[in-house]
Amino acid sequence: MTATGGPPRFGWVFAAVWLFYLGGNVGALLNQPNVYWRVTGLISVAVFAAGFLFLVARRRRRTVRVWLGITLLLALVALQVPGAGDHALTCLVYVAALAMVNLPIGQSAPLAAILFAGAEILPRTVDGWADRGYGLAVLLGSLATYGIRMAAERQRRLIAAQLELADRAVADERARIAADLHDILGHSLTVVTVKAELAQRLLDVDIERARKELADLETLARDALADVRTTALGVRGISLPGEIAAAREALAAANVEADLPGAADEVPTRNRELFAWTIREAVTNVVRHSRARHVRVQLTPDCVEIVDDGAGGVFVTGQGLSGLRRRAEGAGGRLVAGACADGPGFRVRVEVPR
């Protein structure tokens, strides 16, 4: 059987090797003095061998057709009996093996038991017949082919599971890239929007400052485009110092007073990426939604907290914070986001166990 449930493409070649055991049938038939039973038996052996290989080679089998094929093979066995005698019982091994591979176990096991009983009883009850171990051969052949069938089915299930895992990995990677693109574009476009509004207001007040803001807009747009390209390729990285610097620039453009850490040296490497994403998402929400006038970012080796004094209690279920929650849980940490308990404002806090 193949991994998809059918027989091997060249399984009939392997099955044909075992047909040499029919040599005993052929020898007995050649020694049969009755010409009629000799010819009938030899033709039956040849058709039996061809029918057996045909059934083995069939790549799509229906239970009804398998039963029809087995019935015909048993009829050919019966036609050999007058000329070959007990040697015809050799064919029962092939029938049992074929049944164990192709029929449901609830049907093949009883049939194999019946064939085993026949191979054991007939030599003891028919005059002139000898017990040549056909019953044991039927039993061993049935067990061996059933073992092959189970191994093939396990292989098929393994391949199916591997394909499912591969599909799931692709879906997870797509979700990760989508989340990264959301975070990147949400932050970048928010800053671009704020700087564009600021540049527009400065055109009639301070043309040089407006030019500087427009130059920053170009730089931000180029950086966002580069981030999108590298994220789509799966090679994008994010740095904690870089996000602190970007937060300072974004908050300044939005005219929000910022209390930011001067360095991130005390944060261990394993937490830096998560904390960088936390600062990016929280600052994006501050600039976009909060109408805050002041933001404080605190860093410790196992915690980052961003607190603003704007309109709290909003966007807890937003896509950005949902993605941030998944990142925190993936790192074994915990995200707490919500309105400040001691006054107006919004708090985002990510803690990672030491």
> CATH no. for residue 342?
3.30.565.10
Residue 253 clears pLDDT 60, i.e. is over it: yes
- Residue 3: the pLDDT is 42
Looking up tokens 């915990």 gives 334
Mean pLDDT of 287-314: 83
Cα–Cα distances in angstroms (integers) from residue 18 to residues 21, 48, 93, 304, in the given order: 6, 13, 11, 72
- Is 0.85 topped by the overall pTM? no
Mean pLDDT of 196-223: 80
Q: Which of 124, 145, 163 is the last residue of a domain?
A: 163
Shared domain check, 266 and 128? no
56-70, 71-85, 235-249, 277-291: lowest mean pLDDT where? 235-249
Is position 250 within any domain? Answer: no
Mean pLDDT of 125-144: 91
Q: Which of 163, 179, 211 is the last residue of a domain?
A: 163
Is position 171 within any domain? Answer: no
Is position 179 within any domain? Answer: no
d(CA 44, CA 49): 9
Question: Where does the pLDDT of residue 120 fall: very low under 50, low under 70, confident under 90, or very high at 90 and above?
Answer: very high
Is position 5 within any domain? Answer: no
Residue 313 clears pLDDT 60, i.e. is over it: no
Packing angle, helices 269-285 and 240-253, rounded to 10: 10
Shared domain check, 145 and 262? no
Number of domains within the chain: 2
Is position 248 within any domain? Answer: no
- Residue 229: the pLDDT is 63
Mean pLDDT of 180-193: 69
Shared domain check, 260 and 154? no
Shared domain check, 151 and 28? yes
Highest mean pLDDT among 88-97, 208-217, 245-254: 88-97
Mean pLDDT of 87-105: 92
Q: Which two tokens stand for residue 315?
A: 């966007």
Shared domain check, 17 and 159? yes
Average pLDDT, the chain: 83
Separation of CA 306 from chain center: 38
d(CA 282, CA 339): 13
Shared domain check, 35 and 149? yes
Is position 170 within any domain? Answer: no
Question: Where does the pLDDT of residue 303 fall: very low under 50, low under 70, confident under 90, or very high at 90 and above?
Answer: very high
198-207, 216-225, 232-241: lowest mean pLDDT where? 232-241
Q: Which two tokens stand for residue 336?
A: 């707490």
Give me the torsion for CA of 226, 230, 235, 239, rounded to 10°: 30
Mean pLDDT of 201-216: 82
d(CA 124, CA 130): 7
Is position 195 within any domain? Answer: no
- Collect contacts of 340-344 with beta carbons under 8 A, ≥24 apart: 340/307, 340/312, 343/309, 344/309, 344/310, 344/311, 344/312
Domain extent at residue 128:
11-163
Choose between 294 and 1: higher pLDDT.
Answer: 294
Q: Which of 163, 194, 228 is the last residue of a domain?
A: 163
Is position 314 within any domain? Answer: yes
